Amino acid sequence: MKFALSWLKTFLDTEADADTIAKKLTALGLEIEGVEDASAALAKFKVARVLTAEKHPQADKLQVLTVDTGEGAPLQVVCGAPNARAGLVGVLGVPGAVVPANGMTLKVAAVRGVESNGMMCSTRELGLGEEHDGIIELPADAPVGTSFADYLGSDPVFDVAITPNRPDCMGVYGIARDLAAAGLGTLKPIATGGVAGSYPCPVEIRTDDPEGCPAFYGRVIRGVKNGPSPKWLQDALKGAGQRPISALVDATNYVMLGYGRPAHAYDLAKLTGAVVARRAVDGEGVTALNGKHYILDAGMTVIADDAGVHDIAGIMGGEHSGCSDATTDVLLEVAYFNPQRIARTGQALALSSDARTRFERGVDPGFLDTGLDLLTKLIVEICGGEASEVVRAGTPPSGQKTVAYDPALVGKLGGVDVSGGRQQDILAALGFGVVDTGDHWAVSVPSWRPDVDGAPDIVEEVIRVHGLDAVPSVALPRADGVAKPTATPAQTLERRVRRAAAARGLNEAVTWSFLPESEAAHFADGNGGVWTLANPISEDLKAMRPSLLPGLLGAAKRNLDRGATSVRVFEVGRRYLRGEGGASDEKLSLAVVLAGERTPRGWATGKARAFDAFDAKAEALALLGEAGAPVENLQVMGEAGPQFHPGQSATLRLGPKQVLARFGMIHPSTAKAFDIDGPVALVELFLDRIPAKKAQSGFARAPFTPPALQAVTRDFAFLLPLGVPAGDLLRSVRGADKANIVAARVFDDFRGAGVPEGHKSVAVEVTLQPVEKSYDEAALKAIADRIVAAAAKQGATLRG
């Protein structure tokens, strides 16, 4: 929320400067995101008077001016503004000044052969408005030679981040109240005593939706004259980042931004019959003030007349009944809308507005009459007209709560001693009422503070105004002895695999946990469908990710599109699945995406080599090993999923059903869906499925003792059917004699001359480790026989 210091001072009597106010707001929990002072950029612009204006000798639309800057000889300036003339007092940008609108640094230059020593500036060029038809015209008595920044005066603009629990500070007056309570000035009372109605309201006003719109107040002002609003009002709105539109619209915006009370003005001539707050009818539509057409449903509240809908209640008015320069009679609407209804409607329509921001947080239900009086008074003062009596349809919620409060809680919960008298002063300044009943305080909560529900909330109010910096720092107690590990097994596993992936040359990425529904559905598989959010941050981030791969594919595409030749990214995080009955289920995963070149072209390597499925398999096995999975017992099986190329992918399993990982090349349809070109290798590890190690008593492992005897290696060449994976053969070989075989690996795979059709020659190196004595020929033959017998179970025969 933005507002200028001058606007704040209309509500707060203070001598504090902008820096002091900014620091105090942050200390109060109203974080300052920035303080801007437009005049600071105008220090090198001067008030100057045009002495003469002659036609440019080389251009019909340019003039050569002599300009008095109040010091030294007049300067020659070339100007193309149609209103430039002798005697005009305007703003001159001298050489060295930077134009706020475009960042251009002015310098002495020749324009069509005539030297120009600066530029006479327009409102838009100085960033003070949108007018650009001519240069600025100042009053004739403006002090020539004065810095334009000094002439304008400093009026810093604060940009404050208002948390959702503070709807009272969605108006400048609420912020002024907090500052006054903190001792930074005196809060000025709201000028009550509005305009009395001189005739009955000619329009029937009612609410037929008491749940969505409990209260609907309105009145008519006839005989108004719409047009531009006064300069002070336009300046206030511009400082708040709003564009002035017309006096009637600007008045409603001023009351909304100043007091946090949204309101609306209808052109009475465009209304037909009674004006009613009601439920929308499924399928009816309205074109809003933003020019977009919205289709409504029965869960939404609207303001309508006999002809149809004119307002999406609490969010945005309709285009048809908006005020224009021809408006002479207006109907003012000040209502209270159900915050939950407003939030749901805004989400369903994907429609945001300043009014919605305030209504869905909860506006003050006790401010309807005052808000209507303030708006009426402002419009009558600016636009004239005669006001009708007020019509009050429905009753707003009372908003009154009383909390039992013990002042000693400040010390117990907040850790700081604040005297009872100081606490009462703080609460009274914030609008709370305090009655001491003897054993406790009965604190009445003002209607503009819906966030205060109990005694801890009262403690928070006292401490933030008293000063959070007054709360002493107290070290947490620590028990004697050695600290016990606090990381859970899942956290330890996550850290270990993250370090391992980084050590293997992969770059960690952190992507959104939310995805577009189409991308999430592409990876949902058989996990019960996509888990969508009821209140997404945007329609493009509506579904929870069922896999980490979509986010990494998006990251890889962005890097490749920006010229990266090799992308190796991984992420450790949760995937979100739909459990039984639609319940959410979070699972820890690790995903890897390898795209682009594995090795670049070179004199030694030749052409560049892309990633393939074997690179993905190597990453999967290495990371599973680091995660503690029994890699030697894993089986390589198919069915990696529809996102993977069926002939270049597989899964790693512990048994037929326990899938620990899947890997391989991306399926062409998946690559097309994510608009990514070139070969891409994917890996997904399901870390939640890795079996936990059995608990051990005593030492985790025995001290390592090197073998006393030298290991022996033996090579075996097997003829293996083509359809049998070499990994299955290795697993059988390792299990042939677990007491002696400590390792086995494939070192050759040959298919060609001498190998029968439908077979392959697989050479395996087996490492044997004697324990008590060296092997003799009989022992080695017995072990070899067991190896050959185990290999035969996979259909392998020893090659002659």
**Tens digits of per-residue pLDDT, 284-295?**
999 999 999 999
Annotated binding-site residues read 451, 457, 460-461
Q: What is the pLDDT of residue 645?
A: 95
Q: Could you give the CA distance from residue 310 to residue 205 in angstroms, rounded to a whole number?
A: 14
Residue set of the binding site for Mg(2+): 451, 457, 460-461
Question: Does residue 417 share a domain with residue 376?
Answer: no
Check whether residue 60 and residue 113 sit in a common domain.
yes
Are 27 and 48 in a shared domain?
A: no
Q: Which H or E run includes 500?
A: helix 489-503
Q: Does residue 615 carry a pLDDT above 70?
A: yes
| Alpha-carbon dihedral angle through residues 347, 353, 354, 356, given to the nearest 10 degrees | -30
Judge if pTM exceeds 0.85. Answer: no
Q: Is residue 704 part of a domain?
A: no
Q: What pLDDT band is residue 331 in, cutting at 50, 70 and 90?
A: very high
The reported pLDDT for the residue numbered 579 is: 64
Please indicate, yes or no, whether residues 135 and 171 belong to a single structural domain of this protein.
Answer: no
pLDDT in tens, 663-688: 999 999 999 999 999 999 999 999 99
What pLDDT does 582 receive?
54
More confident residue, 501 or 694: 501
Residues 148, 160, single domain; the answer is no
Per-residue pLDDT tens over the stretch 486-508: 888 889 999 999 999 999 999 99
Q: Are residues 112 and 180 in the same domain?
A: no
Q: What is the pLDDT of residue 165?
A: 92
CATH number at residue 750: 3.30.70.380
Q: How many domains does the chain have?
A: 6
- Per-residue pLDDT at 584: 64
583 pLDDT more than 90: no
User: Do 603 and 528 belong together in one domain?
Assistant: yes
- 220: domain range? 205-394
Give the tens place of pLDDT for each residue, 236-274: 998 898 889 999 999 999 999 999 999 999 999 999 999
Answer yes or no: do 543 and 674 share one domain. Answer: yes
* H or E segment to which residue 18 belongs: helix 18-27
- What are the structure tokens assigned to 37, written together? 């002072």
Question: What whole-number distance in Å separates Cα of residue 613 and Cα of residue 632?
Answer: 19
Whether the predicted pLDDT of 695 surpasses 70: no
Which pLDDT tens digit goes with each residue over 469-490? 999 888 888 888 887 888 888 8
Q: Is residue 233 assigned to a domain?
A: yes
Q: Report yes or no on 476 lying in a domain.
A: no
Residue 130 pLDDT > 80, yes or no?
A: no
Q: What are the contacts of 238-241 at 24+ separation with CB within 8 A?
A: 238/129, 239/2, 239/3, 239/4, 239/6, 239/7, 239/155, 239/157, 240/1, 240/2, 240/3, 240/4, 240/7, 240/157, 241/2
Q: Residue 399 above 90 pLDDT?
A: no
The residue-averaged pLDDT of 559-579 equals 91
Tell me what pLDDT residue 480 has: 84
- Domain of 517, CATH number, reads 3.30.930.10
Q: What is the mean pLDDT of residues 131-158?
A: 89
Within this chain, do residues 216 and 313 fall inside the same structural domain, yes or no?
yes
In a domain, 128, yes or no: yes
State residue 580's pLDDT score: 54
Residues in the chain: 800
Residues 374 and 301 grouped into a single domain: yes
SS3 assignment, position 792: helix
Give the per-residue pLDDT at 727: 85
